Structure 1
Amino acid sequence: MAHAEREERPERPAESDGTAHLFRALGRQIKVLRERAGTSQRELGLAAHCGEDLVSAVERGVRTPQPDFLERVDQVLDAGGVLSAAADEVREALARSRTRHPDWFRDYARAEAEAVALHDYSNQAVPGLLQTEEYARALFTQRRPLLDEETIEKRVADRLARQQVFERWPLPTFSYVLEEAALQRPIGGRTAHIGQLRRLLHTGRMRNVELQVMPTSTEEHPNLDGPFILLTPRGRKEVAYTEVQGHARLITDPDEVRLVNERYGIMRAQALTPRESLTLIEKMLGEV
């Protein structure tokens, strides 16, 4: 029964309280203002430094309109402050949404939301910020101990909401080193696997993202200790984040962060180039 209800329910922003209505109302307002101005979704996306897909998703209430997005669109559509006036309320709503993360994850989620640069090494699965909805749901459904349906849906929604960090302006810098084995594992089945590989191709082609694959055949490796993330919050020094068997750690000691950074630099030198990595993913898609 829960599975059937999930299939029938449309995609929406992560907030399940009254703020979801705010986001949907803003989406409808943007659509009305855009059509009144005689502007297409593609044209608005170009003028507001974002993609056509994002404009469409915001208008449909699928994605949360970020405050800086509202302010840019207000100017582009000559809305007279109607949209920018809602920016502060949206900021408060997003701040409330971050408190929904588990206690052990909140410090990292706060730093991630403010990051100007993020570098990720993953060896078991595709990183959360790059996951499709289907892939993320499969991961949460398969984990042990088992999670109830409500918790799974909440965590999937929260994970997708975090991906809006890609839509901030100015654009943060992202880089990823992914183990080839993690991309070969068909989490969620063939359809989910294909969708996930396509998402990686799409994200890897973004101008502020560099995605590299570490071939399984590589004979040398500077980091067999596990995955990690390096991130630089706005106005603060770089930190590192690790998570093993549910134990999370936010590393702020400069010497420890430097060691993690050094390992990451060596891995980037050993991995395929971004162009070679996208070619490999294209080949994987052809073989699936």
Structure 2
Amino acid sequence: MGEGVDEAGWDVEPGDEIEPMVQAVGRLLKVCRESAGVSVPELAEALGYGEDMIRKIERGARIPRPEFLDSADTFLKAQGHLRAFREDMRKARYPKKVRELAELEGRAVEMQFYSNHIIHGLLQTEEYARALLEMRQPAYTQDVVERGTAARMARKVVFDREPAPTLSFVLEQVTLERPYGGRMVLRRQLEHLLAVAMLRNVTLQVMRTNREKNAGISGLVEVLKFADGTAIGRSDGAFNGRPVSNPKDLRILELRCGMIRSQALPPEESRDFIEKALGRL
């Protein structure tokens, strides 16, 4: 793996709103280090990171991993001041768009998704997600692949929320058959889908390829509803793919979602279909 995957953190994206916080944590690290009478080379050797990495963190150019803050806090006897930023830095590690999406998913009480080319991100295993990122062209660096994979996995906390949101997924048959990452990766992905489909707050349906009518022909559709009665949605085939939140536009997307669900296999038949797909691997 390239530098940045197993190192202390990720580079800060220029202009990102988290930049001031990362810089503040870097300054705090420097103050704690100097107060402890520890040099950069000494801290680097003690924690097992490069000196350049420590300097990047101290000047706010690198987002430290939570584990790095733990180790630095203990070694420098910082009394929890560095460790207090664990959660902030964990969230900061993910790209801005992912943080914004995770925030919306974290507030939603109902979510509806239709995926036509790949299995939806919230349903992906780590192996499957990494395989999708590794096949992108122009090729991503390994740093970007790992960061993207970690960010996608972090979004799956929606399944652990209390109270649990209502989740509805419709997947095209082809997403269950394309062996992205290899047959074993697909096998484990299908096993994961079957496990998620058994959750009481999840409805998972399959849209058969031989279906003569499909309201999802224009592509991906997503609708998220919130406790205050507001909602946001988007579709590849409507409103130029932009997110919309006004009732008139949302009505169009909700109608589309409803038609897609009515045309897909019912949940129980969908589980049987996935089990048969798994049996063919």
- Bin the TM-score by the shorter chain: 0.5 to 0.7
Q: Deviations over 1:16-45 (max 9, x none)?
A: 835347899xxxxxxxxxxxxxxxxxxxxx
Preserved contact between residue 64 and residue 89 of structure 2 (Cα < 8 Å) = no
Superposed displacement of residue 221, structure 1: 1.5
Q: Distance in 1 between matches of 2:91 and 2:235?
A: 19
Pick aligned residue for 1:110 from 94, 103, 120 = 103
Rounded Cα–Cα distance in structure 2 between residues aligned with 1:277 and 1:218? 14
For the Cα contact (< 8 Å) 2:94–2:147, is it kept in 1?
Answer: no
> SS of the counterpart of 2:212?
coil
SS in 1 for 2:256: helix
Can you give the 5+ residue segments of structure 2 that lack an aligned partner in the other structure?
7-62, 72-79
Partner of 1:17: 64
The alpha-carbon deviation at position 255 of structure 1 amounts to 1.0
Correspondences of 1:129-278 after superposition (within 5 Å): 129-242=122-235, 249-278=242-271
The total of aligned residue pairs comes to 212
In 2, Cα distance between the equivalents of 1:165 and 1:155? Answer: 18
Task: Give the 3-state SS of the residue equivalent to 2:169 in structure 1.
Answer: strand
The TM-score normalised by the length of structure 2 is 0.68
CA contact (8 A) 1:112 1:233 kept: no
Query: How many Å separate the matches in 2 of 1:250 and 1:284?
Result: 34
Identity %: 37
Deviation string 1:107-149 (CA, Å, 9 cap, x unpaired) is 3332112111111000000001100011001000001121111
What whole-Å deviation, never above 9, does each CA across 1:179-219 have from its counterpart, x for those lacking one? 11111111110110100000100001111100000101110
C-alpha distance after superposition, 1:150-193 (max 9, x if no partner): 11111101111110111010111101011111111111101101
SS at 2:110 equivalent: strand
Q: Which amino acid aligns with 1:122?
A: S
C-alpha separation in 2, matches of 1:149 and 1:285: 30
Alignment pair present for 1:125 and 2:118:
yes
Residue 280 of structure 1 corresponds to 273
Q: Distance between the aligned counterparts of 1:23 and 1:259, measured in 2?
A: 49
Amino acid at match of 1:19: P
- Cα pair distance change 1:172/1:197, threshold 3 Å: same
TM-score, structure 1 as length reference: 0.66
Which amino acid is the alignment partner of residue 160 of structure 1? M
User: Does the C-alpha gap of structure 1 residues 141 and 284 become closer, same or farther in structure 2, counting only changes over 3 Å?
Assistant: same
Amino acid at match of 1:108: L
Q: Post-superposition shift, 1:243?
A: 5.8
Report the AA paired with residue 250 of structure 1. Answer: P
CA offset at residue 261 of structure 1?
Answer: 0.5
Tell me how far apart the structure 2 counterparts of residues 17 and 114 of structure 1 sit (CA, whole Å).
Answer: 27
Q: How many angstroms does 1:228 deviate by?
A: 1.8
Q: Which runs of 5+ in 1 are unaligned?
A: 10-15, 25-85
Does the Cα contact within 8 Å between 1:115 and 1:233 map onto a contact in 2? yes
Cα distance in structure 2, aligned partners of 1:281 and 1:132? 16
CA distance in structure 2 between the partners assigned to 1:131 and 1:102 by the alignment: 18
